[in-house]
Amino acid sequence: MDTRTIPYFIRNNRGAKICDALSFEKHRRKIASLLGRRIFGRMPDAPRHLHSKVETINTDFAAGEAALATVTLTAELPSGRSLTLPVRAIIPRTEGKHPAFIFISRESAVPSELLPAEEIINRGFGIFVLYAEDVATHAFRRAVRAGVAKDAPGLSALIAFAAGIVADYALSHPSVDESAVAVIGHAEYAMAALLCAATERRISYAISSCAATYLPSIEGAASLRAQSLFCSEYAEGIAHAENYDPALLFSLIPPRHLVVGSAEGVPLREREWECEALDAVRELYSLYGAEERIKYHYRHGTSYLSRRDWNVYMDYIEEHSPKS
């Protein structure tokens, strides 16, 4: 077989194709290590213990259809330090266990421009909202010892780590269907959502919405905000740009569900990278017999997370949920 036709992330050290899922599971660790060392930065170690405290609760949220709780999560880290993380938990008041989203939000309000909470609740989904700016604080960085080393975690890795803490809480919630938990991020937070799912493998659905800055050009990386998403070695001049494309991050999701949403307003080059990466990763999904677990959602219009988009994602989860 001509190895040039084999996606490079499905090749072993000798350049031969990896032909079974068990072999790829071993190879997966190398891809994760590459992303940590060269692109996103080293992920902090998982907490040893997690405690939760309900600070406030509104049982009349969405006309009484759901309870909205403000919860403080306290994570005890292996270093002996601890960090606190606020999260909003919205759970339908109907009986039984519910599918749920972990939403990485750019806004602190609930509902918000990108989060039509009432519509989501009315379809029987729970929502756990992580406000991204709560992770970008000096206190959070100090707690996880995110220093100035070349491989210190960038903002995407820190948000992914925080979303993993929220996922740990959500997966243990008595009203959540642990087989139908999704993590979703929009635009600059889409990579963090995928990175969270790559790390926390109990998450069943990884959803990327109108991802931005997959592979920023040098001009694009001049933005301090764009640079902050990556580890310093990658951000400073894009030193290892050739080592990354979306397929690397996509390849850490199988055999779980990968849902990628895009829109006409997303730059054409990024949409092309995304589609090429999805085509490449389909071969990897075939090793698991899970080719049907990839979905690409494209619509006209601008980069946005609309009600239509949320409904497409909820339709997909309902269609594929074991308990649907």
Cross-strand partners of 89 = 69, 128
Residue closest to 310 by CA, chosen among 118, 175, 130: 118
Supply the pLDDT for residue 237.
Answer: 52
- Confidence band, pLDDT 50/70/90 cuts, at residue 16: confident
Enclosing domain of residue 210: 32-320
Instruction: Identify whether 231 is part of a domain.
Output: yes
pLDDT of residue 147: 59
Does the CA dihedral 104-109-111-112 come out positive or negative? negative
Total domains in the chain come to 1
CATH number at residue 295: 3.40.50.1820
Q: Which residue reads 């490079």 in tokens?
A: 8
Structural domain includes residue 6:
no
Query: pLDDT for 251-272, tens place per residue?
Result: 999 999 999 999 999 888 888 8
- Token pair of 273, please? 């990278």
Which SS3 state, helix, strand or coil, does residue 239 take?
coil
Distance of CA 97 to the CA centre of its chain: 22
The H or E element spanning position 296 is strand 294-299
> Model confidence over 204-256: pLDDT tens digits?
999 999 987 554 443 444 455 667 888 877 766 554 444 467 888 999 999 99
Q: What does pLDDT average to over the chain?
A: 88
| 13 in a structural domain | no
In a domain, 23, yes or no: no
DSSP string, 120-142: HHHTT-EEEEEEGGGTSSHHHHH
Report residue 18 CA to chain centroid gap. Answer: 26
Contact 42, 230 (CB under 8 A): no
CB 232 within 8 A of CB 270: no
- Tell me if 10 sits within 8 A of 119, measured CB to CB: no
Provide the whole-model pTM.
0.92
Nearest-angstrom CA–CA distance, 35 and 42 = 8
Q: How many CB atoms lie within 10 A of CB 163?
A: 32
**Distances in Å between the alpha carbon of 256 and those of 6, 30, 161, 178?**
22, 19, 19, 13
d(CA 36, CA 47): 18
Residue 15 in domain: no
With respect to residue 27, please indicate whether it lies within any of the assigned structural domains: no
- Contact predicate 253/208, CB 8 Å: no
Task: Provide, rounded to the nearest whole percent, the portion of the chain with pLDDT above 90.
Answer: 64
| Among candidate residues 115, 81, 120, 82, the one with its CA nearest the CA of residue 100 | 120
